[in-house]
Structure 1
Amino acid sequence: MLDRIIGEAIGTFIFAFIITVADTSSEYSGNYAHPFSLGGGAIILMMLAGFSADPHLNPAITLGHFLRHLLYHGFQSIALVEHLLIILVQFVAAIPGAYLGWGLNVAMIYFGPTNQATDSQAFIAELVFTTLIVSVALMIGKTKDSRILGCVGLGATYMSGAMCVSYYSGACFNPALGFAVNIVKYSETNHHLKDTWIYIVAPFIGGLIGGIINSLLIIGGTEEKEETTDIVLRGDFD
């Protein structure tokens, strides 16, 4: 459990730093570098710690994982506590990462609907692509392909989402990153906090939907499901 917590803390800290320093646009989070930093960062950090601590780096993925566990194995209080602890660590670790990125960046970014988009458009954009990200992430370890290939697939999903909807929402797909970045921006300007709920609520709903989709798509009997390793939270959760 300790290695898992350390992996989440380090990985989410670096993830927040990467996103903050890569995007130099103060207009909205989603300039030309953003898709590559988001997708590439996910691949790098999964491979960095994925074989020892197997981090999620995203509370939406953790929520989807818990829902799948709940559907397969029923409610277990220890599973709930551990998933909640990991989500807490993700939120806490992202904040200093975003502050460090602000220290290096010329303009602190924020996540919010762009001038060309409404709140509802940004919400749908975050919901749809977070659902895809969680669905893909939870499939890692459930197929016969290697985990390295799965990490690349997850990074590609992040990147395609950023390329598609940066124009609308800034492409966050991660409640911890959305919260941390906007908190830091608020400490700088006292603005851009009111839309933060979009980047928390929409990804969490996407995590629930992604967990359901993943559960429906996994084919096999109960024994096969129990023996197959999960993306990150290893066998003691399943």
Structure 2
Amino acid sequence: MSKKLTAEVIGTFILVFFGCGAAVIGGGAIGFTGISLAFGLAIVAAAYGLGAISGAHLNPAVSFGMVAAGRMTISDAIRYSIAQIIGAILGAGVLYLIASGSAGWTGGLGANGYGAGYLGEYSLTAAVVFEVVMTFLFVTVILGATGSGSALGFAGLAIGLTLAAIHLVGINVTGVSVNPARSIGPALFSGGSALTQLWVFIVAPLVGGLLAGALYKAGITRAD
């Protein structure tokens, strides 16, 4: 288990550092498309580099979706989630140290949000619906791509491309969480509304992940 938890820490670090780093450091040059690809490619890298050790969940919504699907115990999901949050905090912390070294840095760390002053200024309802639906779709793809009957060797690519597509659709809505750990790390360093709105990006993804797991366990989204 210690090897698995270490892999989850490193993998979630990769996701936050590359994904949020693309937004914070390169966002002005690469735009939403580049940021979307950064998140997707980070997942691909972690999946193929660390997936054989821990499964590369990198996301409490995925781990608890696995519980709902009958593919993981609650105690292991809690351990995984703690490791993922640690990895996200470390990723955001290193990004903070780098970004704050620039005179042009405005203080952003890619934190999620909604409402007045945040990107497209979408409502709370829009943010919740987006995060629940997109996390449900994301975890459904993950369960299918890693389940029995799936094409061997392609899970990481399918999952990474799905996350990139989700970002292409939704960066302007919430900055895209679909991952409580990814939201917690940057929020802790950003403070303000990123912290007060953080509950949305913990609760909504978990709901979406649990729903995906429940439907998978019921056989509705399972191949066998």
Q: Same fold judged by TM-score > 0.5?
A: yes
Matched, 1:159 2:164: yes
How many residue pairs get matched? 208
Q: Does structure 1 conserve the Cα–Cα contact (< 8 Å) formed by 2:113 and 2:193?
A: no
RMSD between superposed Cα atoms in Å? 2.2
Which residue of 2 is the match for residue 73 of structure 1? Answer: none
Which residue of 2 is the match for residue 198 of structure 1? Answer: 200
Deviation readout 1:11-63 (Å, 9 max, x if unpaired): 11221111221103899xx8342211111111111001112332200100000
Unaligned runs of 5+ residues in structure 1 are 71-77, 221-238
Query: Which SS does the other structure have where 1:131 is aligned?
Result: helix
Unaligned runs of 5+ residues in structure 2 are 100-104
Runs of 4+ in 1 over 3 A off after TM superposition: 143-147
Give 1:4 deviation, angstroms: 1.2
CA distance, structure 2, for counterparts of residue 133 and residue 118 of structure 1 = 22
Which residue of 2 is the match for residue 229 of structure 1? Answer: none
Query: Which SS does the other structure have where 1:148 is aligned?
Result: coil
Give 1:144 deviation, angstroms: 3.5
1:128 to 118, 129, 133: 133
Q: Does structure 1 conserve the Cα–Cα contact (< 8 Å) formed by 2:69 and 2:215?
A: no
State percent identity of aligned pairs: 23
Tell me the TM-score normalized by structure 2: 0.85
Which residue of 2 is the match for residue 218 of structure 1? Answer: 222
Which residue of 2 is the match for residue 7 of structure 1? Answer: 7
Deviation readout 1:148-202 (Å, 9 max, x if unpaired): 312111111111111111111111111001111111111xxx4431111111111
Which residue of 2 is the match for residue 232 of structure 1? Answer: none
- 1:9-24 equivalences in 2 (<5 Å): 9-24=9-24
CA distance, structure 1, for counterparts of residue 54 and residue 194 of structure 2 = 34
CA distance, structure 2, for counterparts of residue 167 and residue 5 of structure 1 = 32
CA distance, structure 2, for counterparts of residue 68 and residue 145 of structure 1 = 16
2:85 to 91, 102, 110: 91
Tell me the TM-score normalized by structure 1: 0.80
